[in-house]
Amino acid sequence: MPDTTVKQPLPVIAILGGTGSLGNGLAKRWAKAGYSVVIGSRDALKAEQAAQTILEQITGSQICGADNLSSAKNADIIVLTVPFANQITTLKEVQGTLKGKLLIDVTVPLQPPKVGTVQMPPEGSAALRAQALLGEHVDIVSAFQNVSAAHLNSSHAIDCDVLVTGNSRSAREQVIALIEAIGMRGFHAGPLANSVATEALTSVLISINRHHKLDGAGIRITGNPLSDG
Ligand SMILES: NC(=O)c1ccc[n+]([C@@H]2O[C@H](COP(=O)([O-])OP(=O)(O)OC[C@H]3O[C@@H](n4cnc5c(N)ncnc54)[C@H](OP(=O)(O)O)[C@@H]3O)[C@@H](O)[C@H]2O)c1
């Protein structure tokens, strides 16, 4: 019997602030996995240069660069990878393009200089602050807070799991599919309210890195029957 299943095209992913360490690492990994990726930046030329660098490393990848607003307009999934201090300004700029789309927020509410100390915003977490701004018509999923950019930018397999919080189960599932596409394991970690814990955990990991002189401590979920460990 011929296979008559119709394959859905992969979603287009825009990475706002994708010129930075975390966003660029994700862009490379998803481009390598065959996704069409748009690197977003405040400066379109900087985004195009970042995309060109990846294109030279991963021949044939579908990657381009544009300003943050055009990137968000032309994508199905938007990933926000800017510092906490710039989260709301960046979201306000693209807010009009987000209705009905999935937003993956990787923001950690780090407030220098005490980045090893948990300092959560009045809304509870950065992701809850984004939801308060954008309302319920944007599906927000919070993920990747506990993965070091250094690992994402390397070429090795990443020894770290990803905790995924969000109010929509199907939105979390979409994000877990993106995580699995880059060879990692994503776990349903409950509603967006639980991003308080996943975001806070980053400062704990930073403290562990400093004290034990580690380069990008991560987390592993144990007790999983599917575990490869
Ligand atoms: N680095 C990590 O290991 C790591 C791990 C987990 C989570 N995170 C979180 O991921 C997010 C990005 O981290 P990162 O280390 O990739 O940050 P980053 O390299 O310092 O910055 C990312 C991008 O944000 C944009 N940006 C900088 N200043 C801005 C401003 N004033 N207004 C708007 N955009 C601005 C820049 O893009 P353009 O100049 O091109 O606009 C920059 O390339 C943060 O919220 C961080 O807490 C990071």
Residue closest by Cα to atom 30 of ligand 1: 86
Ligand 1 atom having least distance to the Cα of 90: 33
Ligand 1 atom having least distance to the Cα of 24: 16
Distance 87 CA to ligand 1 centre (A): 9
CA distance linking residue 160 with residue 181, whole number of Å: 14
| pLDDT given at position 90 | 98
Confidence of residue 227 (pLDDT cuts 50, 70, 90): low
Q: What is the DSSP string of 25-79?
A: HHHHHHHHTT-EEEEEESSHHHHHHHHHHHHHHSTT--EEEEEHHHHHHT-SEEE
CA distance linking residue 210 with residue 169, whole number of Å: 35
Distance 226 CA to ligand 1 centre (A): 33
State mean pLDDT over 1-14.
Answer: 83
Q: Give the pTM.
A: 0.96
Q: Ligand 1: which of 53, 82, 108, 210 to mutate, most ligand atoms within 8 Å of CB? A: 82
Distance of CA 92 to the CA centre of its chain: 18
Residue closest by Cα to atom 9 of ligand 1: 107
Distance 3 CA to ligand 1 centre (A): 44
**CATH number of this structure's domain 12-212:** 3.40.50.720
pLDDT tens sequence across 83-116: 999 999 999 999 999 999 999 999 999 999 999 9
| pLDDT given at position 8 | 79
CA distance linking residue 199 with residue 161, whole number of Å: 14
Q: Where are the domains of the chain?
A: 12-212
State mean pLDDT over 130-154.
Answer: 97
* pLDDT above 90 as % of the chain: 93
CA distance linking residue 40 with residue 82, whole number of Å: 10
Q: Reply yes or no on whether the pLDDT at 54 is more than 60.
A: yes
State mean pLDDT over 51-71.
Answer: 97
| pLDDT given at position 6 | 74
**Mean pLDDT over each residue of the chain, to the nearest integer:** 95
| pLDDT given at position 229 | 45
- Which residue reads 């991003």 in tokens? 195
Residues in contact with ligand 1 by the CB-under-6-Å rule are 17, 19-23, 41-43, 46, 81-84, 86, 89-90, 106-108, 110, 144-145, 147-149, 202
Distance 211 CA to ligand 1 centre (A): 24
